[in-house]
C-alpha cells in the first residue's frame, strides 16, 4: 500500500503497462522530456526510451490516425491529448475510424488504442482547457469510456484500459491530479466498468463521476447534519454505464441526484435519469434531478466557480427532491 497523488498513480500505472508489454508505447505532445503539462509521464522517456515514449507534432488528428495504424499492426498505443478542448481536431479519427474499425471488419480487426484526456475545470485556466466533452464520445458506439475519481482507480484503470481489446478513452479529472490517496498495487479495483457505492445511505442517492465525486461525498456529509442519509455512487465508467448498481440504489432510497461538470443539456445525467425512470419509476419519491454546468461555452476563470457544481448546488438539489 502506497500513498500517491492521482498524477503519480497514473504514472505508475503507465510504467507497469510499459514493463508488462513491449508492444505498449506512449505518444503525445510534450510527454517525453517535459513529462507532459501535468508531469503525468515524467521520467518514462528516460527509462523506456524515445521509441516507446514519443513526443508528437501538435496534430491531434495525426496522433490518433498514427495510433490506429500502430494498433492494427499489433502495437498498444496510449495517446495523450494535452487538454480536453484539444481533442476535437482528432474527433473524426476517433468517432468515424477508431470506434468503427472492429464492426467495419466484422470482428476481424481490433484497434486497442487508449486515449488519455485531462478534462474538467476548477484550475483557473483559459478557453479550451476546462471542458467536459465526455457525452460527445459516449454517444458513439464502439468506444469504452472510463474516468477515475481517486488514485486507486487511476492506477488500475489505466492498466486495465491498456489490456482491453476495444478502444478506451480515459477522462482524467485534471483538478484532482494532486488528490492524494492510498493505492494498493497488489489488489486491482475490480471491474473498471462497474460503479462503486462509496457511501451507504437510505434517503437519497447521488451519482457522480470523475472530478465531482469528492464534492458528492462532501455534500452527503453535510446532509448528515440535517439528519439525511445519502448514498453516493461513483459511476467510474461512462460507457458502458452500470445501470444495475444505480437502479438498486434508487430502489432503496427513492430519490436520485445526478451530477457532472458538463452541461446538463444533452449530458450523461439525462441518460441516467431516463433509464432510472424506465427501470425504477414506482420506486421514485421525486423526479430525478440533474446538477451540472450551464448550456454555454465554459466561462472565463474569474467566474468558473459559478458554473461548476458545488456542495451548495447539490444541497439545493437534495432540498428540492425532499420537498416532493
Task: Please identify every residue annotated as catalytic.
Answer: 129
Residues 253 and 90: their CA atoms lie apart, in Å, by 42
Q: How far apart are the first and last CA of the chain?
A: 45
Question: Cis (ω within 30 of 0) for the bond into 82?
Answer: no
3-state secondary structure of 159: helix
Residues 324 and 319: their CA atoms lie apart, in Å, by 9
At 285, list the grid cell. 419519491
Cα radius of gyration rounded to whole Å, the chain: 19
At 265, list the grid cell. 443539456
At 165, list the grid cell. 481489446
- The angle formed by the CA atoms of residues 77, 65 and 166, to the nearest 5 degrees, is 50
Where in the chain does DSSP place strands (E)?
A: 2-5, 24-28, 53-55, 76-80, 114-119, 144-146, 168-173, 180-183, 196-199, 204-208, 230-234, 237-239, 256-263, 289-293
At 182, list the grid cell. 492510498
Q: How far is CA 284 from CA 29, 51, 116, 143, 204, in A?
A: 47, 55, 37, 31, 10
Amino acid at each position: 500500500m502506497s500513498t500517491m497523488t492521482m498524477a503519480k498513480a497514473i504514472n505508475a500505472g503507465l510504467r507497469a503497462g510499459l514493463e508488462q508489454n513491449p508492444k505498449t508505447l506512449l505518444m503525445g505532445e510534450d510527454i517525453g522530456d517535459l513529462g507532459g503539462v501535468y508531469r503525468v509521464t515524467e521520467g518514462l522517456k528516460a527509462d523506456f526510451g524515445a521509441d516507446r515514449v514519443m513526443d508528437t507534432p501538435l496534430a491531434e488528428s495525426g496522433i490518433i490516425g498514427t495510433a490506429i495504424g500502430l494498433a492494427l499492426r499489433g502495437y498498444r498505443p496510449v495517446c495523450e491529448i494535452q487538454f480536453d478542448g484539444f481533442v476535437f481536431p482528432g474527433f473524426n479519427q476517433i468517432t468515424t475510424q477508431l470506434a468503427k474499425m472492429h464492426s467495419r471488419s466484422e470482428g476481424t480487426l481490433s484497434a486497442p488504442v487508449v486515449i488519455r484526456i485531462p478534462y474538467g475545470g476548477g484550475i483557473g485556466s483559459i478557453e479550451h482547457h476546462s471542458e467536459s466533452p465526455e457525452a460527445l464520445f459516449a454517444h458513439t458506439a464502439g468506444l469504452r469510456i472510463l474516468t477515475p475519481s481517486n488514485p486507486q482507480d487511476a492506477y488500475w484503470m489505466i492498466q486495465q484500459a491498456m489490456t482491453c481489446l476495444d478502444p478506451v478513452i480515459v477522462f482524467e479529472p485534471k483538478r484532482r491530479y494532486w488528490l492524494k490517496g492510498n493505492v494498493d498495487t497488489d489488489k486491482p479495483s475490480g471491474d473498471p466498468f462497474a460503479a462503486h457505492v462509496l457511501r451507504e445511505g437510505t434517503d437519497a442517492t447521488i451519482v457522480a463521476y470523475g472530478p465531482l465525486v469528492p464534492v458528492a461525498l462532501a455534500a452527503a456529509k453535510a446532509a448528515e447534519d440535517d439528519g439525511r442519509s445519502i448514498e453516493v455512487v461513483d459511476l467510474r465508467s461512462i460507457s458502458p454505464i452500470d445501470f444495475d448498481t444505480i437502479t438498486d440504489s434508487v430502489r432503496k432510497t427513492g430519490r436520485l441526484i445526478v451530477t457532472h461538470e458538463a452541461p446538463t443539456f444533452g449530458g450523461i445525467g439525462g441518460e441516467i435519469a431516463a433509464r432510472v425512470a424506465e427501470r425504477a419509476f414506482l420506486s421514485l419519491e421525486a423526479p430525478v434531478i440533474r446538477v451540472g454546468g450551464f448550456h454555454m461555452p465554459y466561462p472565463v476563470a474569474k467566474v468558473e466557480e459559478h458554473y461548476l457544481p458545488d456542495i451548495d448546488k447539490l444541497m439545493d438539489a437534495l432540498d428540492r427532491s425532499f420537498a416532493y
